[in-house]
Amino acid sequence: MTTPPPRLHVVTGKGGTGKTTVAAALAMALAGEGRRVLLCEAEGRQGIARLFDLAPLPYEERRIAVGRGGGQVHALAIDAESALIEYLDMFYKLGRAGKALDRFGIIDFATTIAPGVRDVLLTGKVYEAEKRRDRDGRHVYDAIVLDAPPTGRITRFLNVNQEVAGLAKVGPIRKQADAIMSLLHSRRTKIHLVTVLEEMPVQETSDGIAELSASGLPVGHVLVNLVRTSPLDDAARKAVLAGHLDAGAVGDTLAAAGLDGTPGLADALLAEGVAHVERLDLQDAQRAVLAGADHPVVEIPFLTDGVDVGALYELAGHLAPVAGSTEDDA
Amino acid sequence: MSPQRRNADRGRMVRGDGGGSSVLPLDVDAVIGDPTTRIVVCCGSGGVGKTTTAAAIALRAAEQGRRVCVLTIDPARRLAQSMGLTELDNVPRPVEGVGGTGSLDAMMLDMKRTFDEVVEAHASADKARTILDNPFYQALSSSFAGTQEYMAMEKLGQLYAEQGGSGGGSRWDLIVVDTPPSRSALDFLDAPERLSSLLDGRFIKLLLAPARGPARLFSAGFGIVTSALNKVLGAQVLTDVQTFIAAFDTLFGGFRQRAEATYALLQAPGTAFCVVAVPEPDAMREATYFVDRLSGEKMPLAGLVVNRVTEVAGELDADGAEVAARQVEDADDETSARVAGLLRVHASLGRVREREDRLRRRFAAAHPSVPTIAVPALPTDVHDLDGLRTIGSLLTRPA
Ligand SMILES: Nc1ncnc2c1ncn2[C@@H]1O[C@H](COP(=O)(O)OP(=O)(O)OP(=O)(O)O)[C@@H](O)[C@H]1O
Ligand SMILES: Nc1ncnc2c1ncn2[C@@H]1O[C@H](COP(=O)(O)OP(=O)(O)OP(=O)(O)O)[C@@H](O)[C@H]1O
Ligand SMILES: [Mg+2]
Ligand SMILES: [Mg+2]
């Protein structure tokens, strides 16, 4: 018997390593023919809108792109205040009291200040979208991708409902918290960690994996972003580093090709070559560290020209192994 | 004279780099060499090199004779070790291996502990216990977005008080402050305000009302609210919040007062802000916001550090290198293949650098009076004192 594919992909990682970019590319990769994918943003920074070159997204799901396999990518910027009002309405039909909450600044208090409430609402909305079904009883979304808070906060973010369960011992809040916890701890969820091949982010990734695993949260792939490729093969890298390629020989080769007009070029190229190889070696060392962790690794290349919507399709191609495990035929 | 003025004066004489166009160079040596500079704040968006820059500036200042304290926040493990930051006791400790005539003390901020200590210092033992044990305090002190920024401010205020204001015989004569890894550089300046508005909020006032005043403050509206909250959260939660708020109430004023004092300190002429960015769109945009904000708040800006700039040697441009690579390749021997590879390395460095230069030129055009220094990306991480010295020297000469 095969296990059902994950439906909720949580993308975390160290700040600035490319969470938003990778989450968007993963959504594109998941949106195969006939499939609908929801890309959610939890941090209120409109990173998705910026990436797709759209006006700021309202608290409303809308189609923003066609996926790599022709499916649909929808997006939602979850904002905690709207989520709270929606939530109260849904669960409590508070009516006049709901309005009063707003009037007394409680919505504001609860969402911007009261610790944890924001995270409860954000995870709650994701939970709601995941389980939502259409009239025929089919899931509205085939997959959900969450551009989540960074590694340092992810465990607490995902486990916030446990804290709620600790605070609210009974009642509907407790029930909801338990249901969210069971989704997040189930096989339907995968938490992917975006990193780059540098010491600190890799360390943070290892710590993050340990922390997530320790609290029973399902770790998926390690997504290594900004991987620099090299036009030099292994032998060439060794030769450059060992100084076996000397400035004289390089200069002669350049001259033979008619490139002797640029003074100091040979030295400059060699110096850059050494720094380049040193950086590649550093990458390799970190790659080895990640290989030691017990999770599948996918590498995503650094795109010299930067990232635009077109580039997302290219990145989506690299994420096929992550999306693939959710395809029906996989 | 404020750092801002100093830099403006110096800038008239020197022309620096700026991705091709001329901009005012930022000279960190002049900033730390000026005895009236008492605080240097390194800020910027996440991961740009704030901690590295703060540590490098602090070390350089110490080795040039100043008595320095550096407040770091979440330094990388190896860097922390090399600075002896292994004791998590929330006080500065001397750093071993510092040369020159000055001294360097370093500490790593422990946000929760700083918060706890404030509570302990300003409330009676009983009250402090009530607060420290309250679940809402525990959540607030360890996870409220902004607590880290706020506690960094708090700690800076404490260190400055220890420095003894105007110097003479005090433990330090320069404090270098790193800022927390927030997404937005502005968080550092906004956090105290956010916490204050929590403490001043209408809701809190209402919750406090029963403790403070006549029952008539319980308006009909508030009755509905409490019952709604009880329904939603359960009565215990509301009671916990109320207990916390009531116990915390007397501390609010003190908190706000100190935050305001620290804020004023940041506006004083003895302070110098170094805004750190990397030459990427997001980081440069954040730097722009921050620079504009500093000038709006009349906070003294020393300048912009553009960190991790791609270094390209020689004159050959990216397209030229690509064409050359193809030519060289024709020769079809091992050396030629390798030289072609090196030319391609050069071409891609050149392309990245062109993008970086465009961003830097844009910033310079919009902010012609902001002194700037570019620090090249080193091939390896910066994780020991020598690495910091390298960064320190790069911070003082145009790249
Ligand atoms: N594979 C890539 N090649 C080139 N540039 C990339 C790549 N991935 C991301 N970037 C760039 O890196 C920067 C940071 O990416 P992104 O905003 O996705 O990171 P993030 O982790 O979401 O950041 P934050 O923590 O601020 O939310 C952006 O400018 C983006 O265009
Ligand atoms: N000029 C440089 N060349 C090479 N590596 C650098 C340079 N500056 C910083 N680094 C490295 O970049 C990484 C991030 O630097 P650092 O920790 O100082 O950033 P930060 O802004 O403090 O990050 P955070 O926002 O997470 O606190 C570190 O591994 C550091 O060694
Ligand atoms: Mg993002
Ligand atoms: Mg830092």
pLDDT at residue B260 in the model = 83
Q: How many domains does chain B have?
A: 1
Q: In terms of pLDDT, which residue wins out, A154 or A2?
A: A154
Kindly state the DSSP code that residue A18 receives in the 8-state scheme: S
Average pLDDT over residues B294-313: 94
Any ligand 2 atom below 6 A from CB of B308: yes
CA distance to partner chain B, nearest, from residue A35 (Å): 32
Q: How much is the pLDDT for A237? A: 95
Task: Give the gap in angstroms from C-alpha B315 to the nearest C-alpha of chain A.
Answer: 7
Determine the Cα–Cα distance for residues A42 and A27; give it in Å rounded to an integer: 15
Ligand 1 mean position, distance from CA A21 (Å): 6
Rounded (10°) CA dihedral B278, B283, B288, B290: -100
Contact status, residue B58 vs residue B85, Cβ threshold 8 Å: no
Mean pLDDT to the nearest integer, A99-108 = 64
pLDDT at A271: 93
pLDDT in tens, B360-392: 999 999 999 999 999 999 988 899 999 999 999
Cα distance between residue B5 and residue A224, in whole Å:
45
Higher per-residue pLDDT: A308 or B134: A308
Q: pLDDT at residue B140 above 70?
A: yes
Residues A282 and A197: beta-carbon distance below 8 Å: yes
Contacts of B206-210 with C-beta under 8 Å, sequence gap 24+, read B206/A104, B207/B241, B207/B242, B207/B245, B207/B246, B208/B245, B208/B246, B208/B249, B210/B242
Provide the pLDDT for residue B170. Answer: 80
When pLDDT is averaged across residues A206-213 and rounded to a whole number, the result is: 96
Classify residue B43: in a domain, yes or no.
yes
Over residues B34-69, the pLDDT tens digits come to 999 999 999 998 889 999 999 999 999 999 999 999
Q: B174 or B239, which is more confident?
A: B174
| Cα–Cα distance for residue pair A205/B50, rounded to 1 Å | 21
Instruction: Please state, for a pLDDT cut of 90, what percent of chain A lies above it.
Output: 60
Q: Residue A125 carries which side chain, given as an amino acid letter?
A: K
- Of A258 and A273, the one with more pLDDT: A273
State the pLDDT at residue A314.
95
Contacts of A297 (CB under 8 A, 6+ apart): A221, A222, A223, A224, A287, A290, A291
More confident position, B167 or A192: A192
Beta bridge partners of B78: none
Q: Which two tokens stand for residue A80?
A: 């905690």
**Across chain B, what does the average pLDDT equal?**
83
Query: Cβ of A94 and B206 within 8 Å?
Result: no
B341 falls within a domain = no
| Token pair listed for A325 | 């495990």
**When comparing pLDDT for A111 and B279, which is higher?**
B279
- Other Cβ atoms closer than 10 A to B41: 27
- Complex ipTM: 0.80
From ligand 3's centre to the CA of A17, what distance in Å? 8
Please state which of the ranges A133-147, A201-215, B55-69, B218-232 shows the lowest mean pLDDT: B218-232
Mapped to the 3 state alphabet, what secondary structure does B94-154 carry? ECCCCCCCCEEEEEECCHHHHHHHHHHHHCCHHHHHHHHHCHHHHHHHHHCCCHHHHHHHH
Residue B215 burial (10 A CB sphere; 0-12, 13-18, 19+):
exposed
Provide the domain limits for residue B25.
Answer: 3-316+349-395
Residue B340 forms part of a structural domain: no
Number of neighbours of residue B217 by Cβ within 10 angstroms: 13
Segment A76-96 mean pLDDT: 75
Spell out the domain ranges in chain A: 2-228+302-328, 230-286
Q: Report how far ligand 3's centroid is from the alpha carbon of A146 (Å).
A: 11
pLDDT at B243: 77
pLDDT band, residue B226 (cuts 50/70/90):
low
Answer whether residue B236 is part of any domain: yes
Q: What is the spatial distance between Cα A266 and Cα A251, in angstroms, rounded to a whole number?
A: 5
Answer yes or no: do B313 and A271 touch at CB < 8 A: yes
Residue B47 is predicted with a pLDDT of: 86
Q: How buried is B388 (Cβ within 10 angstroms: 0-12 exposed, 13-18 middle, 19+ buried)?
A: buried
pLDDT higher at A87 or A112: A87
User: pLDDT tens digits for A4-61?
Assistant: 889 999 999 998 899 999 999 999 999 988 899 999 998 777 899 999 999 999 899 9
Q: What is the DSSP annotation of B318-334?
A: HHHHHHHHHHHHTT-SH
B91 falls within a domain:
yes
CATH number at residue B362: 3.40.50.300
- Residue range A2-228+302-328, CATH number: 3.40.50.300
Residue numbers in B near A253 (CB within 8 A): 328, 331, 335-336, 339
Question: Residue B1: pLDDT above 50?
Answer: no
Q: pLDDT band at A222, cuts 50/70/90?
A: very high
Query: CB-CB: which of B228, B314, B330 is closest to A268?
Result: B314
Q: Under 8 Å CB-to-CB from B17, ≥6 apart: which residues?
A: B23, B25, B374, B398, B399
The span from the CA of B102 to the CA of B64, in Å, is 6
pLDDT, position B19: 45
A138-152, B92-106, B143-157: range with lowest mean pLDDT: B143-157
The answer to whether A68 and A312 are in contact (CB under 8 A) is: no
